[in-house]
Amino acid sequence: MRTVLFSASAALVLAIAVHAQPPSSPQPPAAAPAGDADKGKTLFVKNGCYQCHNYEGHGGAAGARIAPNPPPFRGFVNYVRAPRGDMPPYTVKVMSEQDLADVYAYLRGRPRPRDVSSLPLLAR
Amino acid sequence: MNRRGFLKRASLAGAAAIATPAAAAEPQAPAARAAAPGTPIMSAAAESATPPEADVLTVDRTGSDFMVDVLKSIGLDYICANPGSSFRGIHESVINYGGNQHPELITCCHEESSVAMGHGYAKVEGKPFGVFAHGTVGLQHAAMAIYNAWCDRVPVYVMLGNQLDATLRRPGAEWSHSVQDAAAMVRDFSKWDDTPMSLPHFAESAVRAYKIAMTPPMAPVVLVLNAELQEAPLGADARLAIPKLTIPSPPEGDSRAVAEAARLLVAAEHPVIVADRVARTPAAMAHLIELAETLQAGVITQGGRMNFPTRHPLNLSQARAIADADLVLALEVSDLWGVLNTFRDQLHRSTRALTRPGTKVISITTGDLYVKANYQDFQRFADVDLAIAADAEATLPALVEAVRRATTGDRKRVFESRGAKIAEASRAALDRARLEASYAWDASPVSTARLCAELWGQIRNEEWALVNGTAGWAQRLWNFEKPYQWIGGSGGAGVGYGAPAAVGAALAHKSHGRLAVNIQADGDLMYAPGVLWTAAHHRIPLLSVMHNNRAYHQELMHVQKMCNRHSRGIDRGRIGSELVDPFIDYAKVAQGLGLHAEGPITDPNEVGPAIARAMASVKRGEPALVDVVCQPR
């Protein structure tokens, strides 16, 4: 692992607004098409999404948290196609609309986090 | 007899003289002089030869003994070296004449490890140790680590062996190992160098080099030790003096400029203090706390040093507060432009200011006192309203006093109100970090947040110090409150710094009885893993927990970015950056180098117990390593 981090701007990757979402039950976006979560997992890894967002989509030093509550599907797709920050753009040639729907299903299927108060290691 | 004559005659006399007591010196027999190559050591001719008259083969003291006297006088406690014939003279003087104490020789397996150990050591101990290396092949190995120390403004005291006199070089390797101007290769990224031509010259230059290295801005220095100077006999009547070492006081900011800075700080509504390589000594943290509390101003720490407690109510490092600032006080910030702006790395590169229009910027940095041209570590030029060319730590006490003098009762009430809001933002940032750490808590590979939380659970009640690692989650979750608990990173982002710097820092912490903790990246360790053997051999206690993401991950992301840009082969982006097929078994590597080691661990529930077992070894005074397979970032 390289110790150099992307700049702060690089951290403004996908779905910045997701940070503000509480870990309550997800609201299924109205326009989200059907997706195959298993295929989505494969695509998430194959296309390198995990590199910034980690394998569970929980975010990290280089990418925002995008699971288990991704932003509404249309905004998700728009951002992936034309990111405003440092995230590399994914064209249709690389990931089709259906591919993104599969990834979306995978992200929405990630486990809910445990209640922080139940984790002694995270106590103040 | 001078050394040149001594060597010439020794080579002519060949093996015959080896068994000849010097005290029985008589005119040398022609037969012995003419001994043909391949002559047996104890040939009949040699045995019957008359001992040479003045072929003295032993000597009580040499130049390198005096060099050791000088090194002792300046206080070098250790010298790290991978052995090399060009400094064999001083090597022997250190271990025999000097008693291998102050300095003690530390055996290293790579010159890059030697220098990086010195880099980590200096940031804990506040002073350099020495490094011996060949002036050619050794320095070439050491160069990247010297560059890191240069970028990080850390003193390392490098001594290079070299044989300047061509007529005295042994045939073969010594020619390959000799150079006209040894220090030239690193002159662009070292602060000063010299090649002394006499022992008095060495004494002056050795003391001068130490003084220069320790004067802010601190940086590596290089001395070239000619082999002839090391090995030449030192006469009993030699009169050699060691100059007095006086470290200059660091440059303090001009009093009028400091008063103006105080005036601006007191008048500002939202001042933000950005601190990077501020802390040279343990006193710096107290000064910075005093300034922040006097102003009730938020502090953003860039991570270059342990400047400010992570859980201080005025710590805004996680709150991205720069956008709200109407005044930024930048203290020893290595990349001020990068603090004030964001850079978008897309096909068309663009930048955007992070501060609002009209935000004033004050800088206090020794970076304005000393800069070189070739290597570009000075970063992009930043607009500054008041630039104080001085050492920030040395200037802080005067700035605090000036702020106190300029503060009225009305402003004090404003400060108190501001401080309460900052404290709330700081608390919220900690809560946010705890919440974010709970995501993927049970994931395998282990999340980096879980890794840091498990490690924190084991060390929190110890006298701990984090000596290396991607400190992101550690700084968000751990309570860093003491000046020695963090030393910053590599400086130049030259990979391979982490493991040796951690061992060097652990060597310094050992004498203070502290638990040195290293969050070790996998790619970094593979540069020169032999430093783990050095830790085992010299009984340097160090707890290493691996952030093993099985890749040079930063580069992997860069390559993927290019794949995306061209919309081709994203699935092949890993080629050339991943460390897989086979996976590297770091526990076995470490075990083979003499460490207690466990792993690879993929179950997050096994991390804590493995760290506890490793800590038991560390508490016995030994290094230990736990390999944890982690999420990428």
User: pLDDT tens digit string along B126-143?
Assistant: 999 999 999 999 999 999
| Least Cα separation, residue B320 to chain A (angstroms) | 10
Q: What is the pLDDT of residue B16?
A: 33
Query: Which position has the token pair 């008063």?
Result: B259
* C-alpha distances out from residue B49 to B5, B160, B232, B243, Å: 20, 40, 27, 48
Reading the block at residue B589, the tokens are: 């590597």
Q: Assess contact for B446 and B604: CB atoms under 8 A.
A: yes
Q: Which one of B343, B351, B458, B564 makes the best mutation probe of the A interface by having the most chain A beta carbons within 10 Å?
A: B564
Rg (C-alpha) for chain A, rounded Å, is: 15
Query: How high is the pLDDT of residue B44?
Result: 57
- What fold does the segment set A8-18+33-112 form as a domain? Cytochrome Bc1 Complex; Chain D, domain 2 (1.10.760)
Q: Amino acid letter at A27?
A: Q
Does B184 have pLDDT greater than 60? yes
- CA B324/CA B359 separation, integer angstroms: 9
**Amino acid symbol at B185:** M
Average pLDDT over residues B438-462: 97
Overall average pLDDT of the B348-377 stretch: 96
CA distances to B5, B108, B360, B575 from B161, in Å = 21, 16, 50, 41
Q: Is the peptide bond before B623 cis (omega within 30 degrees of 0)?
A: no
| Residue B347 near residue B565 (C-beta atoms within 8 A) | yes
Two tokens, residue B121: 């050591």
**B144 to chain A: which residues are within 8 Å by CB?**
none
Average pLDDT over residues B377-389: 97
Least confidently predicted of A21-25, B280-284, B342-346, B368-372:
A21-25
Sheet with B596-601, side-by-side order of all strands: B464-468, B515-521, B542-548, B623-629, B596-601
User: Which chain B residues contact residue A23 at CB under 8 A?
Assistant: 435, 438-439
Which residue reads 């929190």 in tokens? B460
- Banded model confidence at residue B65, pLDDT cuts 50, 70, 90: very high
Is pLDDT larger for residue B300 or for residue B568? B300
B565 touches chain A (CB under 8 A): yes
Residue B31 has pLDDT above 90, yes or no: no
At residue B19, φ and ψ (nearest 5 deg) are: -90, 10
- Inspect the interface and report whether the beta carbons of A48 and B457 lie closer than 8 Å: no
Q: Token pair 């090649």 is at which residue?
A: B195
Q: Is the peptide bond before A68 cis (omega within 30 degrees of 0)?
A: yes
Closest Cα in chain A, distance from residue B548 (Å): 7
Lowest mean pLDDT among A74-83, B17-26, B61-70, B580-589: B17-26
Distance in Å, alpha carbon of A52 to nearest chain B alpha carbon: 7
Q: What is the mean pLDDT of chain B?
A: 92
Regions of chain A short of the pLDDT cut 70: 1-31
The pTM for the full model equals: 0.90
**pLDDT exceeding 90 applies to what percent of chain B?**
88
**B255-425: same fold as B63-231?**
yes
Strand pairing report for B327-331 and B271-275: parallel
Supply the pLDDT for residue B55.
82
Is the model's pLDDT at B614 over the cut of 80?
A: yes
Which pLDDT tens digit goes with each residue over B96-119?
A: 999 999 999 999 999 999 999 999
> Shortest Cα distance from B352 to chain A (angstroms)?
10
The architecture in CATH of the region B255-425 reads 3-Layer(aba) Sandwich (3.40)
Q: What is the mean pLDDT of residues B193-197?
A: 98
Q: What is the mean pLDDT of residues B352-357?
A: 96
| End-to-end Cα, chain B, rounded Å | 65
Q: Give contacts of A56 with chain B, Cβ < 8 Å.
A: 439-440, 443, 447, 631
As given in the structure block, the two tokens for residue B71 are 């090194």
Q: Is B400 left (phi over 0), alpha (psi -120 to 50) or beta?
A: alpha
Minimum Cα–Cα distance from B353: chain A residue:
A9
Residue scoring higher pLDDT (B303 or B40): B303
Cis peptide before B37 (omega within 30 of 0): no
DSSP bridge partners of B530? none
Q: For chains A and B, what is the number of CB pairs under 8 angstroms? A: 161
Rounded Cα distance, B157 and B210, in Å: 7
- Would you say B61 and B106 are in contact if contact means Cβ atoms under 8 Å apart? no
* Residue B43: per-residue pLDDT: 54
Separation in Å, CA of B452 to nearest CA in chain A: 10
B68 phi and psi angles, rounded to 5 deg = -65, -40
Contacts of B195 (CB under 8 A, 6+ apart): B162, B164, B181, B182, B183, B223, B224, B226
Q: Kindly determine whether residue B560 and residue A23, on different chains, have CB atoms separated by under 8 Å.
A: no
Separation CA B24–CA B4 (nearest Å):
22
What pLDDT score was predicted for residue B424?
96
* Mean pLDDT of the B31-48 span: 47
Superfamily of domain B439-629: Thiamin diphosphate (ThDP)-binding fold, Pyr/PP domains (3.40.50.970)
Q: Domain spanning B63-231 has what CATH number?
A: 3.40.50.970
Every domain of chain B and the residues it spans: 3-48, 63-231, 255-425, 439-629
**Set of chain B residues whose Cβ sits within 8 Å of the Cβ of A46:** 570-571
Does the beta-carbon distance from A9 to B430 stay under 8 Å?
no
Confidence category of residue B235, pLDDT binned at 50, 70, 90: confident
What residues contact B409, with CB distance under 8 A and at least 6 apart? Answer: none
* Contact yes or no for B318/B432 (Cβ under 8 A): yes
Residue B489 forms contact with A (CB below 8 Å): yes
Q: Do the Cβ atoms of B633 and A4 come within 8 Å?
A: no
